[in-house]
């Protein structure tokens, strides 16, 4: 069956490495259907949530180069089920990726979801497009309120994609994800603090005993003071008799020593 991503990746040297490591037969006889050359709603939802991705290109000297691309969540847009595009924002102005793509438009993208331990890898042909010459595309990629200068658009025509397993992905969380996770906890703390202030005010106005009775009515199973538990140690057989013997007054024995009195 089809496995588009692996069909592209499986060069003779890759197959030799698979054979040397004992996995060539498994991948050669792969029976699944992983054509994966058109995005589904699942990939569309995943892509729309990403605020960054990694892009690999190859220079004319044969050296690979990996660059991080970032922006607000959703800055990488799905134009159709085989096309992605994003605004290329001004960075350090070295233009290594742009230059590499001018000579070789093949690229590999990695989209990461660290919190969910998911990753989507994509083979594509990339094209740098002038925003002035593609006004409709510029409108599609516009990000109102985002303070960055878009120098061009990058358009990716998909050849194949695949999902990786979650192995060895360390969960990491963005600040917005942490804030969302802590929202319920913060609300609960605020509620308890307000309740505590109200109880202190009642104590000041009604007296301590009245406040205690109020707390008991609110929390009938919660003791007002923590109860200390006595630790009971197990007794060894015969220890009581030994203690009784050695607590008796001592007397001189016949040889001048001391011992328990009888």
Could you tell me the CATH number of the domain that includes residue 83?
A: 2.30.110.10
Average pLDDT (247-258) is 51
- One domain, residues 130 and 141: yes
In this prediction the pTM is: 0.71
The closest of 24, 132, 125, 143 to 72, measured between CA atoms, is: 143
Is position 242 within any domain?
no
- Report residue 30: phi and psi, to 5°: -60, 125
**pLDDT value of residue 202:** 83
- One domain, residues 90 and 150: yes
**pLDDT value of residue 262:** 39
CB atoms < 10 A from the CB of 143, how many?
Answer: 15
The closest of 124, 92, 93, 95 to 110, measured between CA atoms, is: 124
Instruction: Report the domain count for the chain.
Output: 3
- pLDDT classification of 141: cutoffs 50, 70, 90: very high
Q: How far is CA 25 from CA 29, 143, 211, in A?
A: 6, 48, 76
Whole-number Å distance between alpha carbons of 153 and 98: 11
User: Structural domain of residue 189, as residue ranges?
Assistant: 173-220
Is position 43 within any domain?
yes
Lowest mean pLDDT among 6-20, 21-35, 96-110, 139-153: 21-35
Is position 156 within any domain?
yes
Is position 40 within any domain?
yes
Is position 256 within any domain?
no
- One domain, residues 179 and 153: no
Cβ partners under 8 Å of residue 9, min gap 6: 123
Q: How far is CA 253 from CA 243, 249, 250, in A?
A: 20, 12, 9
Is position 249 within any domain?
no
In the chain, pLDDT over 70 holds for what percent of residues?
A: 78
Is position 229 within any domain?
no
The closest of 129, 134, 36, 39 to 80, measured between CA atoms, is: 39
CA 239 from chain center: how many Å?
59
- One domain, residues 67 and 155: yes
Is position 250 within any domain?
no
- One domain, residues 75 and 13: no
Whole-number Å distance between alpha carbons of 175 and 181: 10
Residue 251: strand pairing partners = 259
Tokens of 157: 């025509």
**What three-state secondary structure class fits 91?**
coil
- One domain, residues 102 and 196: no
On the question of pLDDT at 243 being above 80, the answer is no
């Amino acid at each position: 069956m089809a496995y588009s991503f692996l069909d592209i990746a499986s060069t003779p040297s890759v197959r030799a490495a698979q054979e040397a490591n004992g996995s060539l037969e498994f991948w050669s006889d792969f029976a699944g259907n992983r054509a994966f050359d058109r995005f589904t709603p699942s990939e569309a939802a995943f892509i729309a949530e990403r605020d960054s991705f990694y892009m690999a290109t190859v220079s004319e000297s044969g050296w690979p180069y990996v660059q991080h691309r970032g922006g607000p969540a959703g800055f990488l847009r799905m134009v159709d089920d085989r096309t992605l595009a994003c605004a290329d924002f001004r960075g350090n102005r070295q233009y290594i990726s742009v230059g590499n793509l001018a000579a070789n438009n093949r690229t590999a993208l990695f989209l990461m979801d660290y919190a969910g331990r998911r990753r989507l890898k994509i083979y594509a042909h990339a094209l740098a497009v002038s925003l002035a010459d593609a006004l409709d595309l510029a409108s599609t990629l516009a990000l109102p309120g985002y303070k960055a200068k878009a120098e061009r658009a990058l358009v990716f025509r998909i050849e194949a994609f695949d999902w990786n397993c979650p192995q060895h992905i360390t969960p990491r969380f963005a600040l917005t994800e942490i804030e969302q996770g802590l929202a319920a906890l913060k609300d609960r703390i605020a509620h308890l603090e307000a309740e505590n202030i109200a109880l202190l005010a009642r104590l000041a106005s009604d007296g301590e005993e009245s406040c205690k009775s109020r707390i008991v009515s609110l929390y009938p199973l919660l003791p007002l003071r923590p109860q200390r538990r006595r630790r009971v140690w197990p007794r060894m057989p015969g220890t009581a008799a030994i203690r009784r013997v050695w607590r008796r007054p001592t007397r001189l024995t016949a040889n001048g020593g001391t011992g328990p009195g009888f």
